Amino acid sequence: MPFEMVRNDITKMNVDAIVNAANRSLLGGGGVDGAIHRAAGPELLEECRTLGGCETGEAKITKGYRLPARYVIHTVGPIWHGGSNGEKELLAGCYRHSLELAAENGCESVAFPMISTGAYGYPKDEALSVAVDEITRFLLDHDMTVYLVVFGHESLITGRKLFRDIREYIDDAYAETRIRRRRRTENARENLWQTDEKAALDLDMEISQSIYEDACKSEAPPDLMANMPAPAMGAGPDWKKILKKTDESFSEALLRLIDERKWTDAYCYKKANIDRKLFSKIRTNPDYQPSKPTVLAFAVALELSLPETKKLLKKAGFSLTRSNDFDLILEYCISHGNYNIFEINEVLFEFDQPLLGSGMKM
Ligand code: APR
């Protein structure tokens, strides 16, 4: 995945270069600057002393010393003064110049902190948009893996309308599941009272126990349908095999959809935030088994409708259910015509879900 957001301590990132949110002196400070100098050791400060400082929006490179990263790219973010003093352009320059410096030094992977969003007071949500814009623009013409490292459990986009709308959509879906489940159990209970009093009493015990357990859990009760046991082998048709034999495999369907749009492969996999190596595996193996986030990354890149998305998922053996945040977020975005994969990933990140394009098995 060329661009990924991760929750981590940047000094632990095993990449070619990490970026330091420094000050103009380059002689160390607090926050991530302090953490990097502590982890790199005193030789870092000695080398920084030779650099003669750095202008806001610019970047300079040193070795990484005791860090896992080979290099440290020091950049100086703007101090936030309300947004009308060129802060956005300066912050964009921090990302752009750091990426250029990384490419000039042969780096294949770079990790950024959220520059200027600590002591310098830049609003996180706006800083995130600047970072995502600059990084994704750079990645259109460069093969590199870029991480945006979020420290601890900071929230970035909870103020956004999209986040609030999706939060509401998920809560409604879980409420609906609870109502459906209750109605189903009510019906089962009524039927039992008419036929078998003892069994009805046992069911009552079971229901009160499960309602109590749900109350103890924060997450919504799983949708019964999603948990129906798969048909035992030998019991009726083997749907997996039948689905597999439908007209084409996932990889054949994907290549057909790309051809229908007269796109190049590169245009499609970059739009899907999928790296070249993964795409060539899919292209060369008609039976390639992708992860669900990978299938959905292509569905978003191809701007498929919800029914088309479900068809593509089925070819890879997946479906969209209404019983987990990941599926509900994708269902909301696709049904509302939001195909901005990086914006969708920001929401998935906020909900601690796998990001589109990641190979994470679900
Ligand atoms: N790993 C990743 N991110 C971190 C870490 C870490 N170990 N420590 C802090 N951060 C995050 C903060 O949570 C914040 O989101 O880095 C972001 C930037 O915060 P600061 O480090 O305060 O940097 P900035 O806002 O750019 O201010 C720079 O602070 O430390 C001084 O010398 C520095 O004067 C300069 C100013």
Q: What is the whole-number distance in angstroms between the Cα of residue 145 and the centre of ligand 1? A: 22
Residue 352 annotated to the active site: no
Give the start-to-end residue ranges of the domains of the chain: 3-150, 164-226, 239-350
Q: Does residue 27's CB lie within 6 angstroms of at least one atom of ligand 1?
A: no
Rg (CA), the chain: 25
| Complete DSSP assignment for 120-177 | T---HHHHHHHHHHHHHHHHHS---EEEEEEPTT--SSTTSHHHHHHHHHHHHHHHHH
Q: What is the whole-number distance in angstroms between the Cα of residue 77 and the centre of ligand 1? A: 10
Average pLDDT over residues 334-351: 96
- Topology of domain 3-150 in CATH is Leucine Aminopeptidase, subunit E; domain 1 (3.40.220)
pLDDT of residue 213: 62
Q: Which of the following is catalytic: 33, 223, 325, 327?
A: 33
Judged by average pLDDT, the poorest of 85-94, 189-198, 282-291 is: 189-198
pTM of the model: 0.83
User: Are the C-beta atoms of residues 315 and 253 closer than 8 Å to each other?
Assistant: yes
Q: Would you state the structure tokens that stand for residue 362, as one six-digit string?
A: 């679900």
Q: Residue with the nearest Cα to atom 22 of ligand 1?
A: 118
Q: Residue with the nearest Cα to atom 3 of ligand 1?
A: 151
The residue to mutate among 25, 32, 91, having the most atoms of ligand 1 within 8 angstroms of its beta carbon, is: 32
pLDDT digits (tens, 9 = 90+) for 237-257: 555 555 444 578 999 999 999
Q: When comparing pLDDT for 213 and 95, which is higher?
A: 95
CATH code assigned to 239-350: 1.10.260
Q: Residue with the nearest Cα to atom 30 of ligand 1?
A: 30
pLDDT of residue 234: 46
Q: Which atom of ligand 1 is nearest to the CA of 121?
A: 25
Q: Which atom of ligand 1 is nearest to the CA of 34?
A: 30
Check pLDDT > 60 for residue 308: yes
pLDDT digits (tens, 9 = 90+) for 158-213: 888 999 999 999 999 988 888 887 888 788 777 777 777 777 777 676 666 666 66
Q: Which atom of ligand 1 is nearest to the CA of 77?
A: 26
260-299 in b/e form (b: 16+ CB < 10 A) is eeeeebeebbbbbbbbeebbeebeeeeebebbbbbbbbbb
Q: Which atom of ligand 1 is nearest to the CA of 10?
A: 1
Q: What is the whole-number distance in angstroms between the Cα of residue 91 and the centre of ligand 1? A: 14
**Which residues, at least 6 apart from 263, have a Cβ–Cβ distance to it below 8 Å?**
none
Q: What is the whole-number distance in angstroms between the Cα of residue 340 and the centre of ligand 1? A: 28
User: Are the C-beta atoms of residues 257 and 251 closer than 8 Å to each other?
Assistant: no
pLDDT of residue 358: 75
Q: Does residue 39's CB lie within 6 angstroms of at least one atom of ligand 1?
A: no
Q: What is the whole-number distance in angstroms between the Cα of residue 41 and the centre of ligand 1? A: 18
| Complete DSSP assignment for 207-266 | HHHHHHHHHH-SSPPPPTGGGSPPPPTTSS--HHHHHHTSSS-HHHHHHHHHHHTT--HH
